[in-house]
Chains A and B, each alone.
Chain A
Amino acid sequence: KNEVEQSPQNLTAQEGEFITINCSYSVGISALHWLQQHPGGGIVSLFMLSSGKKKHGRLIATINIQEKHSSLHITASHPRDSAVYICAGRRSYNTDKLIFGTGTRLQVFP
């Protein structure tokens, strides 16, 4: 069993739908990244959070460290949101060691 699990693995949506991607982890972490990887391969960091909630445009990320769970929400989804979304946990405060989920592939159709 992976230390970081994402669900669902694949997700299709119609443009405009509200989307939720979940990330659960079985080890202690100090913070969590959400990353976006487009079909061309480039990786962009969307959020890094250690508590509560962060919002950037149509993207919202939440984390509950005690429950070992994080969610990424996309409101009013658009075809350009089609990508692989990856969560990654930072193992502790004094290290840059990350453990990754295997990603959620999102396709948004017009």
Chain B
Amino acid sequence: EAQVTQNPRYLITVTGKKLTVTCSQNMNHEYMSWYRQDPGLGLRQIYYSMNVEVTDKGDVPEGYKVSRKEKRNFPLILESPSPNQTSLYFCASSGGLDRTSPDTQYFGPGTRLTVL
């Protein structure tokens, strides 16, 4: 089954304790992204990757790191989490960009993170 998986689904942690949220897709997609969703602010893009070893900042990259060492995986790293990073996080992937045939984004189930 084609899917994007995220782990963990729920995480409660404390300020400053490094954490990683994993994201994996089984569709051989080139493009992957991380988003956060907050009440009243909607979805905002954190980072995106257009291929292995190619990543770029979205609108809210501060406090986050990503890596894309393999095509299928795109982990989100919070080196020193703070309470303002409490949010619902989504990973997504898509096959690629084509002017004549734009592609669909496939979203993971979400990770609810609470930083105390």
A residues in contact (CB < 8 Å) with B: 30-31, 33, 35, 41-45, 48-50, 86, 88, 90, 93-103
Residues of B within 8 A of A31 (CB): 102
- In the assembled complex, the Cα of A49 lies from the Cα of B104 at a distance in Å of 9
- A98–B109 CB distance below 8 A: no
B contact face: mostly helix, strand, loop, or mixed: strand
- In the assembled complex, the Cα of A95 lies from the Cα of B105 at a distance in Å of 13
- In the assembled complex, the Cα of A31 lies from the Cα of B90 at a distance in Å of 21
Contact (A97, B107) CB under 8 Å given A43-B90, A49-B102, A50-B102 = no
Asked whether any CB of chain A lies closer than 8 Å to the CB of B45, the reply is: yes
- A103–B42 CB distance below 8 A: yes
Residues of B within 8 A of A101 (CB): 42
- B107–A45 CB distance below 8 A: yes
Residue of A nearest to B45 (CB): A98
Instruction: Count contacts on B: residues with CB < 8 A to the other chain.
Output: 28
A/B pair count, beta carbons within 8 Å: 64
Residues of A within 8 A of B107 (CB): 35, 42-45
- In the assembled complex, the Cα of A11 lies from the Cα of B90 at a distance in Å of 25
- A48–B56 CB distance below 8 A: no
- B59–A102 CB distance below 8 A: no
Residue of B nearest to A48 (CB): B102
> Which one, A30, A93, A98, A103, contacts B33 given CB within 8 A?
A98
Residues of B within 8 A of A93 (CB): 97, 99
> Which one, B33, B42, B90, contacts A102 given CB within 8 A?
B42
- B105–A45 CB distance below 8 A: yes
* Nearest CB on A from B37, distance (A): 9
- Listed from nearest, the 7 A-B pairs whose CB atoms lie closest are A102-B42, A43-B107, A100-B43, A31-B102, A96-B48, A96-B31, A45-B104
